[in-house]
Every structure is written in C-alpha cells, then in structure tokens.
Amino acid sequence: MGVPVTFTLKLKAVPKVLVDARWVSPDRFADRAIDEIKKFRVLEGGWETTVGELFEVIGPEKAPADPKEIDIVIEGSTSKICYIGYKMSGGRIVIRGDAGHFIGYKMRGGVIMIHGSVRNYLGCKMKDGIIEVFGNAGHRVGSKLQGEKPGKGMKKGSIVIHGNAGSEVGLGMTGGTIVVEKSAGNLVGSSMTGGTIVVKEGAGLYPGLEMLGGRIVIGGVVKGILPSFYVDSYIPLLKVRGMEFKKPFLSFIGDAVVGGRGFLQISYEDNKSLLEFYKSLVEEV
Amino acid sequence: MTQIIIKNGFVIDPLSNIKGEVMDIAIKDGKIVDLKEVDESRAIVIDVKGRVVMAGGIDVHSHIAGPKVNTGRLMRPEDHYLTNIPHILPYKRAETGLTTPNVFRIGYEYARMGFTLVAEPATPPIKTRHTHHELNAIPMIDKMAFVLVDSNWVSLDLIKEGRRDLLAAYYAWLLKATKTYALKLVDPGSDVAWIIKGSGLDIDDQMPEYGFTPRELIKVIGDVTQLLNIPHKIHVHCNRLGYPGNYMTTLKTMATARDITKVGEGLAMHITHVQFTGYKGDSWATLESGGEDIAKELNANPYISLDLGQVILDRPVTTMTADAPFEFVLYHLTRWKWFNSDTEVDAAAGIVPYRYRSKSYVNTVQWAIGLEVALLARDPWRIFITTDHPNAGPFIDYPKVFAWLISRKAREDTMKKVNQRALKRCSLPSIDREYTLYDLAIMTRAAPAKLLGLERFKGHLGVGADADIVVYDIDPRVVDISKDYERVVKAFRRAWLVVKDGEIIVRDGEIVKTVYGRTFYIDPEMPAELEKELSKVLEAKFRELYTVALESFVIKENEIAKPMRISTKTYLR
C-alpha cells in the first residue's frame, strides 16, 4: 500500500440547514479526478448543490483506485453536515469541527476521527471500522433505526467517545465495542443482543432495557436500574477489553422481560445505596 | 374534454367476447364511444401497434385505507426509510412505503400496473368516516369499501330476535349510512367470542351470549343480501384462518352457499384469501396443501367465487386483519411488534409484521396453495388474483403472480429456490396448466367487474364503458409468454399507457398526471314503513350501545370527494 493522499475540504460558507453529504467518503472519491469530485451531488435542505459549491476542495488531480489510500480532511465543519462516511469501506476521514447526524452510517471499514461534537445516530448500523470522537455525541450511538428488530444495529468495529454521549447508546447493537469516556444518558444498550458498551462515568435511568445479550459496564453513578435484572455476582476488580477498573462491581443478568442473557455490570461503591440490597442477596448464598 | 383514439392495438376484452383482435378504440368525454363520433383531426391519436390493449384492472380485495392501515404505517417506520421517491411538481406527489405505502403511492402504483378500481375489503362501521377520508386522498383509482357486519351487536341482536325483514332494512341502512358497497364477514362471530371469552370460533361452535353458530350467521346474512339484491353479495373470510387443518372449515363454509335461498342474480358468496384457509394437516410441522380439495369444491359449487391471497416469498409484509384472535396467535409466533384493538360494538382488528421466507417449510406450502387453487380451478370467471395486500404480499407484486399462472417455467424457476421438503408434499410441481392472456384479462378485469355488478361500465372496452384503458408493451403474437415470462412481469409492472376516465395518466410506466377517482356506494331502496320501524329500533340501539349519536354516525354524501351512487331494487316488502 502506498502513502495515502489527502483531500482537504474547506467549508466555504456555514450552511443554515442540514446538509446530506453522503458522497463524501473514500469509496466515492476512489479513482475519480478532482473535477468529478467537485461535481458530486450534495443536498442542502432538499436543494441539490455540488461538493464544489459547498467546499473548497484541495487535493491531487486524481484519487487512487483503492479507497484505503485516501484521507479526507474536512476543515471548519459544523453540526449541519450529515451522512459523512456513508457506507465507506476503507481510508480515513478527519473532521475538524462539529458534525451532524448519521456520521458513519452503515460504514464497513476505515477510520473516522471527529475533533468536535457529533449529533444523533453516530455509527448507526455500522458493520466494521473505527470511529473516534473527541467531543460529545448525541443520542443513539451505534444504534439500529427506529422500528427495526433488536440486533439490527452496530455489528462490529469500535466507537470511542472522549466526551459524553446521549441516551440509547448502542440501541439494538449486536457486536463491536462502544466506549464512552465520560457519562451517558438514559437507556444505555437497550434491546442490544451482543457487543460491549463501556461507560467510564455515570449513566442515566435503566441501562439494558430489553437487552438480550452482550455486556454493559458502567463505572459511575446510575440513576436507576430495572427490577427485571437478576443479580449474579460481586466482582472485586473488573477488566474489560484491555481497560481496568480498580473498584468493585456488581454483575446482573437480564433483561428478564424478554428472557435475555446479557450482562450489566455496575460500579458498587458509586451506587451503594441502590445496590446494597442486591449485594446482600449475593452474600447469603 | 379530450378526445383520444387508440389505434391498431391488440385488444383483449372478454366481456365483449374479443379474444385478441386488432382494433381502434375511441374515447370522448371520459367514455368509450363509437369511432364515428370522434373527430380524428382534433383527437389525440396514439398508435399502439404490437401492444396489448385491455380494460383497466380491478382488484377486489386490497387493504388500502382505514384506521388499521394507518396504524400499520405508524407501526412500521422501517418500511419507509429506503422507499422514498421525491415529488415532481406540479403533477406528482411524494411516495413512500412498500407494505404500508402512503396514499399517493397506493394510487400511483396501481395506476402504473394498469389497475383503475380497487376495493378496500374491511372497514368497521363506526370508523368508516376515517376510511372515506383516506379513500378521498388516494389518487388515480376508483375505489369502494366493504363494511364489516359479522360481529356487529345491532345486527346480531336482530338475528337473535328473528326479525329478518328488519335485519335486511338495517343492512340496507348501514350500506347507505356508511357509503359502502358490500357486506364483509371476517371470521364470522369470532370477534364476539374474542371479546367475551378470549378465543376464536369454528364454524359449528356456539357463539357466546347469542346462542347460534357462525354457519347460521353466514346463512342468515346470505339470505338477507339476496333480499337486498346488492350486486356483490357476501365477502367471507372463513373461520379458523391461519390454523393447520382449517381447509375443512373452508369447505363447510363454501357448502353453506348451497343452502342460501337464491332470489337475485349473481354469485351467492365470495370466499376471500383462500390460501390462508386452505391448510391440511394437524400441526405446523405436518402442514400440507388443501388447495386440491378447495379447487374441487369450487368446480362443483356454482354459487361461489374465490380470491387467492397469494403469498409472495421473501418480501416483508404487514398482516392486518379484522380477525383479532388470529393476530394474537401470530404475535406469539413472531414475537416482535403487535397491535390489537376492539372497535366498540362493531369489530376488532390486529396487525403483526411478518416475512415469508422461501426456505421455510410452512411458507413454501402457503405459496403453493394459492397457485394450486388457481391452476386447478376450471372456471376463470370465479377466481381472482389478489395478494390480500399487505397480508400475503404487497400489491406491486401482482405481475409475479401473473407470471406464475401463465408460465410453467416461471413456477419451475421459483420452485428451485424454495423449500424442497415442502414441495414434495404439494401437487404444484405436477400441474402443467398455463393460463393465457385472455384468461388473465378475465381474472383481473371482466370477472371482477361482473362480481361487483359493474359490468355495464367497468371491465370492458365496449361502447358506453368508462374510458379506463391500459396498454401493455407486449405482443403475444410475437413473444412466447410461457417461455419469456420476464417480459410479462416487466410489461405488467409498468403499463405503457393508462387512460383513466378519458385522461392519459401513465405513459411509459411513469405518472404524467394526477387525477382523483370516484368512490362507489350502494343505495338499496327501502319500503317507507320498514324505514320508520327501523329508525325507532336504531335510536334505541344507538342510545344503548354506541358512544356516538345516530345523526353523527351517518356519513353524508358531501363528505366523499367524488361519490358514485348505485341504487338497487330490493325484494323487501
């Protein structure tokens, strides 16, 4: 593999409405001349424009045929730019600034790095690849779409969020890893069937609603847990995907409402008043 | 209005007994007229040499409007993500949805396939106002609705009291008040049992509270419709739908048609989506096809007609029916989304999304049953092609069903992909019959028009008929349709030209103009004394049973965008 070439997309004017920029991905750029790339279709609030109208495109005359050799850097991005990296299979996208909804929707490989915050549906239905966010993320990270069956969400790959995340992280996910360095909102991992979600700080209400499988680790304060989880064991020291928590955890199995076999592991010391009763159940046996 | 001449078309028109002749058709003021009446210099002349010309298609059973369809749309957002087609102003509205499409898509897709009249087969009386609002919003096609009466407490009370004349008057009033076209029986009597006992009924079980059986109920309503002399008599969805071994119930229901006292013209009973009620065997694991027995009974019994409810494999569907007990069972099989509701004193309904899989044993048997019934039936005038949209498949797959019926090769190609264990227990692989385009024109045009009593102005191309004309880009004189069935699918999926009420709405398979069709309803005449007596009874019943007042219940003619009243002469005294 050769040295990756870089295309830089500088936002000319800040759009006032949501922009569907799903053609901005290494797969679309591959084997295309820069003039063709500038003519790619972009929907700005329903009106058709082109990539060249919206961005100033700087890069080599012709993109290599292999998408893995393409880097795309978006400068001055705002939270209106949506669908970046749609179905990308390789390469790298770096977004300097915020980004909108559906970043990495159905992506199959490659890397997306966002030096800012993103809105809802980050890595929605992704099959593989890596997404890293240095700001916050909105709701439904690595989720399925509304109305689909459990297990139609994120399949493989990993999402790392260095800030906070909104509610329903990993809704219906079936594999892969989501790491939230700070706290997450309500309903973490609802109806998930596999995969791992690690929230290093607190989470909102009812993590693991209707979960069928997989593992949720919450290393901080939880606002409430569902009564449909069975307490399983007391873990003095937890290791998950190379991360180590040097504090005790209480492990639950559930959600019994749907006959699930998922693991929900919650930091014991942070939630002592909530979990004391459950711990006493484990000790009696 | 525009005058159109369609020249040199290969015309197939079973009602006028034209089995494929090269003819010219002239249109003036929305009607088909004699060629002499049209001034050729001022008319739009379209040369359709080498193409088939037929009347507009008629679908007798397709759930296109009503509260349950709307709930289905709410329940299935995932059906709408990838099926959006933006509007093209000023002549085309945006489309979305596959199994639960929006109103515009329903109209446009039917128009693209060359269908111009569609019947919504189940609307609970009290919610029919909603159904009419939705029907008003569906473009392109003419439409009608059938009203649910099987578990209507008012009618059940009247049957229990033995007031046959009053019951007939009530149905006449109900058809007029709800502006509907025929009476529909869904799982007769089951919704009463479902509300009171929480279970369904077989045809010879006693209905709780009322003390008579669904068989008696079917017979009474059948007799009454004969008195009323409405064109489409009863539209029956059989008991125990969807349970293995239910083909016996279907045969019994079909036999009841012999007992109905026949006074008027037309077929006494229509059995709908027979595929769902044609299961042999005593469990899902030993499911077999009862298609042969049903076809045999159809051939022997001249008083009934059938529609198929053909399963389309590997397509998502949304089962929605007024058969609430069955939807409850289906939910426990699928374990995903489920909706059930009871409509105060009228009916009940349920919705469950589903997907028929080609590798599944049960689904393959279901697929074979519909085709077996269609292929073993001798009389194409009494069998209709439907998929019971959206229960067994979306209506946009009708061309696939056409291909399976006209081509053995099409069936064989599909049979390679389905569950082989199931095929060994079906008689479908041994059936050689192939329908012709003429038979297809009977099943989708002439026969439905006759069934609905509209053969004077629908379903044919004779002088005086409505100018609903379809041109398909296929020439049966050149193309061997039984070999080259993919051409047929392509041609029937996108009609080359569609004329609706004298206006060109589709060209080259694309919509060029949005028009709105009429809503048909029946107005049976009633003797004045009986009407007086009925209004007394109704006022008491409405105060006792309904949450709405009698005056609010009646749908007025101005609530329907384009009403089309069809009055019938009754035998009531």
3-state SS string for B351-383: EEEEECCCCCHHHHHHHHHHHHHHHHCCCHHHE
User: Residue B336: which of A145, A146, A149 has the nearest Cβ?
Assistant: A149
Distance from CA of A255 to the nearest CA of B (A): 16
B75 CB neighbours in chain A (<8 A) are 147
Question: Any CB–CB contact under 8 A between B78 and chain A?
Answer: yes
Question: Any CB–CB contact under 8 A between B573 and chain A?
Answer: no
Under DSSP, the state recorded for B517 is: -
Q: Do A147 and B77 touch (CB under 8 A)?
A: yes
Distance from CA of B98 to the nearest CA of A (A): 15
Question: HSE on the CB side for B196, CA within 13 Å?
Answer: 14
Beta strands A215-218 and A196-199, pairing class: parallel
pLDDT-derived band at B368 (thresholds 50, 70, 90) equals very high
Kindly report the average pLDDT of chain B as a whole number.
93
Using an 8 Å Cβ cutoff, are B455 and B15 in contact? yes
Q: Is the pLDDT of residue A45 over 90?
A: no
Average pLDDT over residues A209-238: 94
* CATH superfamily membership of B3-55+459-511: Urease, subunit C, domain 1 (2.30.40.10)
Tens-digit pLDDT profile for residues A103-115: 999 999 999 999 9
Question: Any CB–CB contact under 8 A between A148 and chain B?
Answer: yes
Question: Any CB–CB contact under 8 A between A201 and chain B?
Answer: no
Question: HSE on the CB side for B382, CA within 13 Å?
Answer: 23
Q: Could you tell me which residues come within 8 angstroms of residue B17 by beta carbon, excluding any fewer than 6 positions away? A: none
Average pLDDT over residues B115-123: 95
B79 CB neighbours in chain A (<8 A) are 147
- CA B229/CA B420 separation, integer angstroms: 48
Question: Any CB–CB contact under 8 A between A181 and chain B?
Answer: no
Range of the domain at A35: 5-284
Q: Which has the closest alpha carbon to B168: B271, B263, B64?
A: B263
Say how far residue B565 (Cα) sits from the centre of its chain. Answer: 20
Residue A271: Cβ within 10 Å count: 20
Under DSSP, the state recorded for A67 is: G
Distance from CA of B73 to the nearest CA of A (A): 11
Question: What letter represents residue A92's amino acid?
Answer: R
Using an 8 Å Cβ cutoff, are A130 and A108 in contact? no
How many Cβ pairs within 8 Å bridge chains A and B?
13
* Angle at alpha carbon of residue B143, lines to B140 and B144, rounded to 5°: 170
Question: What letter represents residue B332's amino acid?
Answer: H
- CA B138/CA B295 separation, integer angstroms: 35
Average pLDDT over residues B247-251: 95
Task: Decide: helix, strand or coil at residue B75.
Answer: helix
Average pLDDT over residues B516-543: 93
> Would you say how long chain B is, in residues?
573
Beta strands B469-472 and B497-500, pairing class: antiparallel
Distance from CA of B327 to the nearest CA of A (A): 19
Q: What are phi and psi of B439, to 5 degrees?
A: -60, -40
- CA A51/CA B355 separation, integer angstroms: 40
Using an 8 Å Cβ cutoff, are A131 and A108 in contact? no
Distance from CA of A279 to the nearest CA of B (A): 34
B81 CB neighbours in chain A (<8 A) are 145
Using an 8 Å Cβ cutoff, are A271 and A221 in contact? yes
Domain regions of chain B by residue span = 3-55+459-511
Tens-digit pLDDT profile for residues B477-496: 999 999 999 999 999 999 99
- CA B342/CA B347 separation, integer angstroms: 6
Kindly report the average pLDDT of chain A as a whole number.
94
Chain A residue with CA closest to B79: the answer is: A147
Average pLDDT over residues A79-83: 94
Tens-digit pLDDT profile for residues B411-460: 999 999 999 999 999 999 999 999 999 999 999 999 999 999 999 989 99
Helices (H) then strands (E): counts for chain A: 4, 21
Tens-digit pLDDT profile for residues B124-168: 999 999 999 999 999 999 999 999 998 889 999 999 998 889 999
State which H helix or E strand residue B46 sits in. strand B44-47
Angle between helices B398-406 and B361-376 (to 10 degrees): 60
Q: What is the pLDDT of residue B259?
A: 92
pLDDT-derived band at B344 (thresholds 50, 70, 90) equals confident
Q: A68-82: string of b/e by CB count within 10 Å (b at 16+)?
A: bbbbbbbeebebbbb
Chain A residue with CA closest to B82: the answer is: A145
- CA B388/CA B122 separation, integer angstroms: 11
Q: Could you tell me which residues come within 8 angstroms of residue B545 by beta carbon, excluding any fewer than 6 positions away? A: B153, B154, B344, B345
Distance from CA of B88 to the nearest CA of A (A): 13
Tens-digit pLDDT profile for residues B372-402: 999 999 999 999 999 999 999 999 999 999 9
Q: Could you tell me which residues come within 8 angstroms of residue A66 by beta carbon, excluding any fewer than 6 positions away? A: A1, A30, A90
Q: What are phi and psi of B406, to 5 degrees?
A: -95, -10
Q: What is the pLDDT of residue B1?
A: 66
B78 CB neighbours in chain A (<8 A) are 145-148
pLDDT-derived band at A1 (thresholds 50, 70, 90) equals low
Full DSSP string of B194-246? HHHTSS---TTSPPTTT---HHHHHHHHHHHHHHHT-SS-EEEEPTTTTSTTT
A149 CB neighbours in chain B (<8 A) are 336
For B535, the token pair is 């209004």
Q: Is the pLDDT of residue B2 over 90?
A: no
Residues of B numbered 307-336 whose beta carbons fall under 8 angstroms of chain A's beta carbons: which are they? 336
Tens-digit pLDDT profile for residues A159-181: 999 999 999 999 999 999 999 99
Q: Is the pLDDT of residue B280 over 80?
A: yes
What total of structural domains would you count in chain A?
A: 1
Question: Any CB–CB contact under 8 A between A146 and chain B?
Answer: yes
Q: Do A145 and B78 touch (CB under 8 A)?
A: yes
Q: Do A147 and B76 touch (CB under 8 A)?
A: yes
pLDDT-derived band at A197 (thresholds 50, 70, 90) equals very high
Q: Do A146 and B77 touch (CB under 8 A)?
A: yes
Q: Do A147 and B75 touch (CB under 8 A)?
A: yes
State which H helix or E strand residue A235 sits in. strand A230-235
Using an 8 Å Cβ cutoff, are B51 and B471 in contact? yes
For B475, the token pair is 């020439």
Q: Do A145 and B336 touch (CB under 8 A)?
A: no
Distance from CA of B349 to the nearest CA of A (A): 21
Residue B160: Cβ within 10 Å count: 13
Question: Any CB–CB contact under 8 A between A149 and chain B?
Answer: yes
- What is chain B's alpha carbon radius of gyration, rounded to the nearest angstrom? 23
pLDDT-derived band at B264 (thresholds 50, 70, 90) equals confident
Q: Is the pLDDT of residue A85 over 70?
A: yes
Q: What is the pLDDT of residue A285?
A: 58
Q: What is the largest CA-CA distance in chain A?
A: 72
A147 CB neighbours in chain B (<8 A) are 75-79, 337
Q: What is the pLDDT of residue B301?
A: 93
Which among B71, B75, B78, B337 is the top mutation candidate for probing chain A, defined by the most A β-carbons within 10 Å of its own β-carbon?
Answer: B78
Tens-digit pLDDT profile for residues B29-67: 999 999 999 988 899 999 999 999 999 999 999 999 999
Identify the residue whose tokens are 């369809």.
B69
A121 CB neighbours in chain B (<8 A) are none
- CA B91/CA B397 separation, integer angstroms: 25
